[in-house]
Amino acid sequence: MISGRNRLLAALSFLGGAAGGALAWSHLQRQYRHDLFSRHPLRRFAALSYLRVRPSVGTVRLLREYIAWERSPVLRQRGVALMRTVEKSLP
């Protein structure tokens, strides 16, 4: 049987890990926001995530160029979906 103290420690550890992961991902997004055309797929993914929350006409233009350039089908599809979302959010 698990004691109350162990449950509390497990819950705090889980929350701490989740918070640490969220901070690390946020840091990666800020660090790699200019790496949309990087040779590293994780950096390109982080740059796409960064652009998701910054809808503008410039973002749409940049995403069009990125989609034409990207060779990875998964990242290209993510770029297309992101471009459509950004286009819908513009007035």
Q: Domain residues for 24?
A: 4-89
According to the model, what pLDDT value does residue 75 have?
A: 96
Number of domains present in the structure of the chain = 1
- Where is mean pLDDT largest: 18-22, 48-52, 75-79? 75-79
What are the CB-based long-range contacts (under 8 Å, 24+) for 40-47? 41/72, 41/75, 44/70, 44/72, 44/75, 45/75, 45/78
Q: Is 58 exposed, middle or buried (0-12, 13-18, 19+ CB in 10 A)?
A: exposed
| Chain segment 29-70, per-residue pLDDT in tens | 666 667 888 999 988 998 898 888 888 898 899 999 999 999
What tokens does 30 get? 């800020």
DSSP structure string for 52-72: HT---HHHHHHHHHHHHH---
pTM for the structure as a whole? 0.65
